[in-house]
Amino acid sequence: MSCLMVERCGELLFESPDQNVKCVCMLGDVRLRGQTGVPAERRGSYPFIDFRLLNNTTHSGEIGTKKKVKRLLSFQRYFHASRLLRGIIPQASLHLLDEDYLGQARHMLSKVGMWDFDIFLFDRLTNGNSLVTLLCHLFNTHGLIHHFKLDMVTLHRFLVMVQEDYHSQNPYHNAVHAADVTQAMHCYLKEPKLASFLTPLDIMLGLLAAAAHDVDHPGVNQPFLIKTNHHLANLYQNMSVLENHHWRSTVGMLRESRLLAHLPQEMTQDIEQQLGSLILATDINRQNEFLTRLKAHLHNKDLRLEDVHDRHFMLQIALKCADICNPCRIWEMSKQWSERVCEEFYRQGDLEQKFELEISPLCNQQKDSIPSIQIGFMTYIVEPLFREWARFTGNSALSENMLSHLAHNKAQWKSLLPKQHRSSSGGSSGGGGGPDHTDHGTENEEQTGTESVPI
C-alpha cells in the first residue's frame, strides 16, 4: 500500500492574549498572515503536561508549545472509505477491515438516528475511525457536501485532523466521546419542533461543534490548569480555558485544511464565531445561565425559531444536552461512560496527590464512589436540563425515552450505593446528593464532556 507521510510543525504568535494571531509559522520558513476575526490556535498546540514541572510553579507556565504532528495518510484507505460512505460496495477488498465488519458498519449507519445506537461497537467496526466515518456520512445524508460545495477529500482531511487531535489515552475525553455527542446531536436536530426551522448552516454548525467540542482535551479540568499555572490558563485568563482552546483549535484546523476557503470571507468568519458560541456553551460553569434562560423562554412562550438568534440559542441547548446525555442512554452504555469519566477524575486525583496538590472534588477514589458521583450529577445537572428540553420538544418520543432511561439508570446507581459504601470508607460523601454535592456538580461534574469538571 502506497502511503504518504506528512510531518508538520508550527506555532501561532500572539501580540497579547486577547489579540488576533499575528502570524502563523508553519513548515520551516513559511509565514502566513492570520485572518482578521477569530484568533486561531495552531492545531495540536496543547502540550502534553510535563508533570516534572508541577512542583516548580514559577516555570510551569513556560512549558513549550511546539509539538510535531506526524500523520500517515493513505489515499487507498480514503478511496475505500469514501466508496463505503457513498454506499458503493468495493469490487476488491483492500483488507483494511474484514468485509463482515464493513457490512455491519454500513448497517449501523442506516440506523444512526436511533437513540440506542452503540457508538462503542461502531468504533470497533470502523477500526477506531468512528468520528470520521460518522461525520462523512452525516454531512452526506444532510446534503451539506452538495449545499456548501465541499470537496470530499478536503472534508475527510479536516475530519482526520479533528479525530487525531483527540487524545486516545483519555478514558473519557477522546474521539469516541466526540462521535457519541455528534450522534446525539444528529438525533436532536431531527426533533420535529426544531427540524423544520433549521437551515443547512444550522445543521453544519451543530455537527461541527459536536465533533470538535472537546478537541485536544488533556484529561484534566480547568482548576487543574489554573493551579499548575498552565499557559492556556494564562492565555484565557482563567475563563472557559478548555472551551476556548477547543474553539480556537477548531478554527485553526478549518483554516489549515482550507475546508471553507471557497466560501465568502464574511461567511467563514460568521461560521467561526458561531462555532465559538456553541462550543463555549458547553462550559458546565454556565449551566445555570443557560437553564434559567431556557426556563424563561418556555414560561413566556416567546421562542421564535424563525429568528436566527433564538434558533442559535436552541442549538446551544441541544449541544449541551448532547454533551451530557450519557445518563439518558441505555444502562449498558451509560454505565460504561460513567466508569470512563470517573476513571479520568481519579487519574487527575492521583496526579494531584502525587505532586502534593489539593485533590479536586470528585477526584478522590477513596472517598468519591462512582454511584455517588453519578447520582449527584444526574440530580443536579442532567435532570433539570432534560426536563426543560422535554418541555421544548412537547414531550416527544425521544425525550420521553431519554427521561425513562435517566430514571432507570439513577435507580440502578442507587441500588449499587450500599455495596460501594461497605467496600469503600468515605463513600457516603456523595450518596443522595446533598448540598455539598450540588456544588461539586456545578464545579466538577463535567461528566459528559463539559470539561469544567475535573476532567
| pLDDT (0 to 100) of residue 41 | 63
DSSP secondary-structure letter at 88? P
Handedness of CA 368, 369, 371, 372 (dihedral sign): negative
- Yes or no: say if 108 and 122 are a contact pair by the CB < 8 Å rule: yes
CA 54 to chain CA centroid, Å, is 27
| pLDDT (0 to 100) of residue 271 | 98
Catalytic, out of 173, 217, 297, 440: 173
pLDDT tens-digit series, residues 343-377: 999 999 999 999 999 999 999 999 999 999 999 99
> Is 213 marked as binding a ligand?
yes
| pLDDT (0 to 100) of residue 58 | 36
> Is 173 marked as binding a ligand?
yes
> Is 217 marked as binding a ligand?
no
**Residue 173 annotated as catalytic:** yes
| pLDDT (0 to 100) of residue 37 | 61
> Is 175 marked as binding a ligand?
yes
Q: What are phi and psi of 34, to 5 degrees?
A: -70, 150
Name 5's bridge partners: 72
| pLDDT (0 to 100) of residue 49 | 52
> Is 137 marked as binding a ligand?
no
Residues contacting residue 377 through CB under 8 Å, at least 6 positions apart: 327, 441, 445, 447
pLDDT tens-digit series, residues 146-200: 999 999 999 999 999 999 999 999 999 999 999 999 999 999 999 999 999 999 9
Q: How confident is the prediction along the chain (455 residues), in pLDDT tens digits per residue? A: 444 333 333 333 334 433 333 333 322 222 233 444 666 664 444 445 544 444 444 343 333 333 332 333 333 334 444 444 444 433 333 334 566 777 899 999 999 999 999 999 999 999 999 999 999 999 999 999 999 999 999 999 999 999 999 999 999 999 999 999 999 999 999 999 999 999 999 999 999 999 999 999 999 999 999 999 999 999 999 999 999 999 999 999 999 999 999 999 999 999 999 999 999 999 999 999 999 999 999 999 999 999 999 999 999 999 999 999 999 999 999 999 999 999 999 999 999 999 999 999 999 999 999 999 999 999 999 999 999 999 999 999 999 999 999 999 999 999 999 654 544 434 333 333 333 333 333 334 444 334 334 44
Report the C-alpha gap between 159 and 238 in whole angstroms: 29
- Over 22-77, what HEC string results? EEEEECCCEEECCCCCCCCCCCCCCCCCCHHHCCCCCCHHHCCCCCCEEEEECHHH
